[in-house]
Amino acid sequence: MIKKNILLAGAVMAALAFSASSASAQENCPRGDLDQRYCDRDGDLIADTPTDPSQQLDPDTLIFAYTPVEDPAVYKEAWSDFLEYLEEKTGKSVVFFPVQSNAAQIEAMRSGRLHIAGFNTGSNPLAVNCAGFHPFTIMASKDGNFGYEMEILTYPGSGIEKVEDIKGKQLAFTSPTSNSGFKAPSAILKADFGMIAERDFEPVFSGKHDNSILGVANKDYPAASIANSVLSRMIQRDVLKPEQVISIYKSQTFPTTGFGVVYNLKPELQEKIRDAFFSFEWDGSSLQKEFEKSNEGQFLEMTYKEFWEVIRKIDTANGVSYACE
């Protein structure tokens, strides 16, 4: 009996010790909404860069991807001058990776195949929490203004004159991870108009903003929610005429695409990449040629904790979880 009690006491002590060590480990690695592979000791809501050099990445070739809002071929050319400058600043080869979906972009970074990226507004929280994304800049106009609005479009003669007229009809979204293409309109339609997908209208997904915009212009969709920055650039490129679509709703201003790096790049390399963004000369560049169409002309420094607060609130309203699969 004494031996049994000693063994039982030992088991209890071991369990307590394990519990204490687990609690200690959690205190040493707070993470909030971050995936369990990351820590956030400084409370900035993004994953800490590993302090152990053996856990830091220093690849010979850096992979860059821009959010798939439109045909990736359009943006490969638009980013060409910047990526060439990035090669000069880092001393490394840089490759443009033409991702086809937000989910593929997040998975590429999570698996270590993507080092530098621009994630769209709605994907930023998922990229931060599931892929260790470190966003630090967004595009802004030369006078420092930034952002875009979600608009709901229809076409002339659709029979839709106001948001409520979408009831019983089809509404095109882009993808579930898009802010203006799904998250924001879902929250706004429910809160302000009492309208819920499946019950009040038929939701469909086009995949990208240009698909949704052209779908409305060509009368394939009676209505669609889109980012007006994409609409502006498409009109500037003569992809469609302004009179082909009508806006029936315009939201508050949201932050645009967030640019940054994966959390475990070597700190010195991260600094070189940051410097490339903030020292790049826009005037006369391929980047200016494309993005001046939406009145953007510089990279503005920002923090995920501050700039994406409104997006995290929209996610909360929609019951979005940042759990990583």
Does 10 or 307 have the greater pLDDT score? 307
Q: What is the mean pLDDT of the chain?
A: 91
Question: According to CATH, what is the number of the domain 148-254?
Answer: 3.40.190.10
Task: Say yes or no: do domains 53-145+256-317 and 148-254 share a fold.
Answer: yes
Residue 9 — pLDDT band, cuts 50, 70, 90? Answer: very low
Residue 19 — pLDDT band, cuts 50, 70, 90? Answer: very low
What percentage of the chain reaches a pLDDT higher than 90?
Answer: 84
Tokens of residue 128, six digits = 């931060």
Q: Are strands 258-262 and 116-119 parallel, antiparallel or unpaired?
A: antiparallel
Give the CATH architecture of domain 53-145+256-317: 3-Layer(aba) Sandwich (3.40)
Give me the pLDDT at residue 123, please: 93
Does 11 have pLDDT greater than 70? no
Give the ranges where the chain is alpha helix by DSSP (H). Answer: 2-28, 72-78, 80-90, 102-110, 124-131, 184-193, 209-217, 228-236, 267-279, 286-291, 304-307, 309-317
Residue 190 — pLDDT band, cuts 50, 70, 90? Answer: very high
Orientation of helix 309-317 relative to helix 184-193, angle to 10°? 60
Q: Which of 35-39, 65-69, 234-238 has the lowest mean pLDDT?
A: 65-69
Tokens of residue 200, six digits = 């009040």
**What are the boundaries of each domain within the chain?**
53-145+256-317, 148-254
Q: Which amino acid is at 324?
A: C
Give me the pLDDT at residue 72, please: 75
Give me the pLDDT at residue 27, please: 63
What region does 104 belong to: left with phi over 0, alpha with psi -120 to 50, or beta? alpha
Global pTM exceeds 0.95: no
